[in-house]
């Protein structure tokens, strides 16, 4: 799959004094499933609305298949839009909701019936065709909204926080179902989410937005492996931030403990390490104390105190049991891989475990 389905160039949008989008450029490839990920207020929904034609940019261009889209009304763009709260027509049955796009196009009745029945089968709601939206569960409403958007046979599908209003189990099922559907239909799809797990699990590519700008775009692995800046790193998951410095290749926390080796130049940095890259070894003479153990199902999170600092470590609950860890136990802490950020928020280098006495590198594997 090559080429571009949607080409967005230098888009600006402000509401009064608020700059919601600043110089946003993005190329969406045909058939890909792209996630727009960012905290609320980052401009992702605005970007989606601009693509659909529900809003107009102050400056910039949007083209579909090299064809200028800004001059076109929403109905001429061939965009299927699924709203965050579904926006189903409350006075119409499920059948009529899905049939709406066909009815306004004056499609012959038999064809409408055929097409709607087909879509109902696709969303597995054939038996609920006569129900009204208010009589459906959240997940069912979501699927109806999707079928309604698909009825126009859109070239682009846009989903605004598609799973935002659903509970965890429905969310997971619907996520898998949507991925499957995308693979069958191969429609270029953009969805907005503030949930990084959702974005990473579902999307081919993820675009991370913050304060109206695109911070980074890439495959989930690319982004996780090399976050472009401190914001992205933080957004992808919790981490321990330890002010520290590098001297002759050794990274030391200001609190006074060794973190590892790095190739970065000497100076001050923020050493950032994820909880799942920290391990412990029981040691009665250890410098760290376990202050708290919080197990949530298969994962356990430890709060460790030492050197006047507090850090969080995370690994499987099984390991807590195997090592017989308990609150108040003394331990040694083993630091794995982390990132050094400069004062400007960009990564300056990575650090890793130091060489142990035997001279072999102590590799710390993620036990998650």
Partner 1 sequence: MAGRFLLIGLALGFLALFLAMPLVVVFSEALSLGLSHYAASIMDPNVGAAIWLTLLIAAISVPANLVFGVIASWCIARFEFAGRNLLITLIDLPFSISPVVAGLLEVLLFGLNGLFGSWLSANNIQIIFAVPGMILATMFVTFPFVAREVIPLAQEQGNDEEEAAATLGASGLQIFWRVSLPKIRWGLLYGVLLCNARAMGEFGAVSVVSGKIFGQTDTMSLAVESLYGSYEIQAAFAVASLLALLAIVTLVLKAALEWRHRDELNAVRRKRTA
- The residues that touch partner 1, with contacts defined as CB under 8 A, are 52-54, 73-75, 77, 79-81, 83, 85, 87-92, 100-101, 103-105, 132-135, 148-149, 151-152
Smallest gap from residue 103 Cβ to partner 1 (A): 8
Residue 88 or 236 having the CB closest to partner 1: 88
Smallest gap from residue 151 Cβ to partner 1 (A): 7
CB 304 within 8 A of CB 290: yes
Residue 62 or 236 having the CB closest to partner 1: 62
Residue 90 or 363 having the CB closest to partner 1: 90
CB 153 within 8 A of CB 184: no
Distance between CA 249 and CA 306 in Å, rounded?
A: 23
Smallest gap from residue 76 Cβ to partner 1 (A): 8
CB 221 within 8 A of CB 214: no
Distance between CA 270 and CA 59 in Å, rounded?
A: 37
Residue 81 or 341 having the CB closest to partner 1: 81
Distance between CA 92 and CA 103 in Å, rounded?
A: 13
Smallest gap from residue 179 Cβ to partner 1 (A): 23
Residue 156 or 215 having the CB closest to partner 1: 156
Smallest gap from residue 104 Cβ to partner 1 (A): 4
**330-335 and 278-282 beta bridge pairing:** antiparallel
Neighbour order of strands in the sheet with 278-282: 278-282, 330-335, 288-296, 299-306, 309-316
**67-68 and 59-64 beta bridge pairing:** antiparallel
């Amino acid at each position: 799959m090559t080429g571009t389905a949607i080409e967005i160039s230098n888009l600006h949008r402000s509401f009064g004094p608020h700059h919601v989008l600043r110089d946003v450029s993005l190329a969406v490839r045909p058939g890909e499933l792209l996630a727009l990920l960012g905290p609320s207020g980052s401009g992702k929904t605005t970007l989606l609305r601009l693509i659909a034609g529900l809003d107009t940019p102050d400056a910039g261009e949007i083209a579909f298949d090299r064809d200028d889209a800004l001059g076109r009304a929403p109905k001429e763009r061939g965009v299927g839009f699924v709203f965050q709260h579904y926006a189903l027509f409350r006075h119409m049955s499920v059948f009529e909701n899905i049939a709406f796009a066909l009815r306004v196009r004056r499609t012959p009745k038999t064809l409408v019936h055929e097409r709607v029945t087909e879509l109902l089968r696709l969303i597995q709601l054939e038996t609920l065709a006569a129900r009204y939206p208010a009589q459906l569960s959240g997940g069912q409403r979501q699927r109806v909204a999707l079928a309604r958007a698909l009825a126009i046979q859109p070239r682009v599908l846009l989903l605004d926080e598609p799973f935002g209003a659903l509970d965890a189990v429905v969310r997971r099922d619907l996520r898998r179902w949507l991925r499957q559907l995308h693979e069958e239909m191969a429609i270029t799809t953009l969805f907005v989410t503030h949930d990084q797990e959702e974005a990473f699990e579902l999307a081919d590519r993820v675009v991370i937005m913050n304060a109206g700008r695109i911070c980074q775009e890439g495959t989930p692995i690319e982004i996780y492996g090399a976050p472009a800046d401190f914001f992205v790193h933080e957004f992808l998951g919790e981490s321990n931030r330890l002010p520290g410095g590098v001297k002759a290749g050794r990274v030391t926390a200001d609190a006074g403990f060794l973190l590892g080796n790095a190739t970065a130049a000497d100076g001050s940095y923020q050493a950032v390490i994820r909880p799942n890259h920290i391990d412990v070894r029981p040691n009665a003479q250890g410098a760290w104390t376990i202050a708290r153990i919080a197990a949530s199902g298969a994962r356990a999170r430890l709060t460790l105190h030492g050197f006047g600092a507090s850090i969080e470590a995370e690994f499987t609950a099984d390991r807590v049991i195997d090592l017989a860890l308990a609150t108040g136990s003394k331990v040694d802490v083993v630091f794995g891989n982390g990132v050094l950020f400069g004062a400007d928020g960009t990564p300056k280098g990575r650090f890793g475990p130091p060489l142990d006495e035997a001279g072999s590198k102590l590799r710390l594997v993620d036990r998650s």
